[in-house]
Amino acid sequence: MDRDTCKPLLPALLASLCLVPAAAQAQAPAPGSAQAWPARSIRLVVPQTPGGASDALARIIGQQLADAWGQQVLVDNRPGAGGNIGNDLVAKASPDGYTWLLGFVGTHAINPSLYKGLTWDPQKSFTPLATLASVPFVVAVHAPLPVKNVGDLVALARSKPGEVRFGSAGNGTVNHLLGPMLASAAKVQFTHVPYKGAAGAITDTLSGQVQFTFTSMPSVIGHLKAGSLRAIAVTSGRRAALLKDVPTVAESGFPGFDVTPWFGVLGPAGLPEAVVTRINGDINRLLASRETVDRFAAQGAEPLVTTPAQFGRIIAADVALWSRIVRETGATVD
């Protein structure tokens, strides 16, 4: 074929070549689409110290997601100010799906009623992604203490007003509020000793510096199995599978007592809907797997599967519930 014969084909050939990048661009996933995500590692902020339920659940689900996606999920513990430091960090992050919060009813639904001038709103500043688990709390006592049940604990507090001390993960935490809730129901007085995280409260309960603590089951299950602490009740409405012989607080003479905190994953407000759907679906599939059920059960946690919309409604309901409890107990962070 000579040069003159080729000339009529050149315009069509050049046009077709120009279409190649455009076609490739049209087929490439948009930055906010589920197909393009995740393209890099994810930061999972835990607004509490290592060793508690939030940290344990974050590391379990983070590793499983990393294995499924081929991208690292980096757990970043950011305790301080009752969890507000970590919450603030995520609320201000870019809504691209790469910064998450391990939310917990204590830091997310209780703090708005306790702290003034928060820089974040529990509903407006975050995108609910997926719930992970519900976790009953345990009433754990110093092993040598002659207290076998809640009735004994109440009797001890009644005989020594103000002398029975309980440790918590800090002012305004669920661990703290459970104390005045039980004291109010039993019409007794406990003295609250706040710590900077659950680990300190557990350590001092082990040594007898405080007589008992309310704490999440994952943070204390090892001590209960070893016999260094004794569980006298669980705070949930029904008995925990891991502690079938331990009664609930409600069974112990306080009907209606039912506190089973949730844990879940949230992102900043404004995440693309496709990414939210992808995260929720992938986490829910993991929660249904036997491996996750077994690993959660070993921590005393039960998988909690919801849609993002259902998770949002849970948050709204708990913000209202704990606001009332804070008012009724008179709890403060001072």
- In this structure, are 119 and 210 located in the same domain? no
Structure tokens at 160: 């020594």
Q: Is residue 291 part of a domain?
A: yes
- In this structure, are 143 and 234 located in the same domain? yes
Is the peptide bond between 38 and the residue preceding it cis, with omega within 30 degrees of 0?
yes
- In this structure, are 188 and 151 located in the same domain? yes
Output the CA–CA distances (angstroms, integers) from residue 104 to 118, 141, 151, 250, 292, in the order listed: 17, 24, 30, 23, 19
**Rounded to 5 degrees, what are φ and ψ at 27?**
-85, -20
- In this structure, are 114 and 143 located in the same domain? no
Cα angle 291-297-302, degrees, rounded to a multiple of 5: 100
77-97 confidence digits (pLDDT tens): 999 888 899 999 999 999 999
Parent domain of 90 = 42-135+261-329
Residue of 146, 109, 153, 101 whose CA lies nearest to 128: 101
Classified as helix, coil or strand, 213 is: strand
Question: What is the pTM for the complete model shown?
Answer: 0.78
CATH number of the domain enclosing 153: 3.40.190.10
- In this structure, are 124 and 204 located in the same domain? no
Q: Is residue 124 part of a domain?
A: yes
**Rounded to 5 degrees, what are φ and ψ at 158?**
-70, -30
Of 217, 243, 269, the residue at which a domain comes to its end is: 243
Residue with tokens 């001072």: 334
Q: Is residue 56 part of a domain?
A: yes
11-48 confidence digits (pLDDT tens): 443 343 343 343 333 333 444 555 689 999 999 999 98
Amino acid letter at 102?
L
Confidence of residue 3 (pLDDT cuts 50, 70, 90): very low
Number of domains in the chain: 2
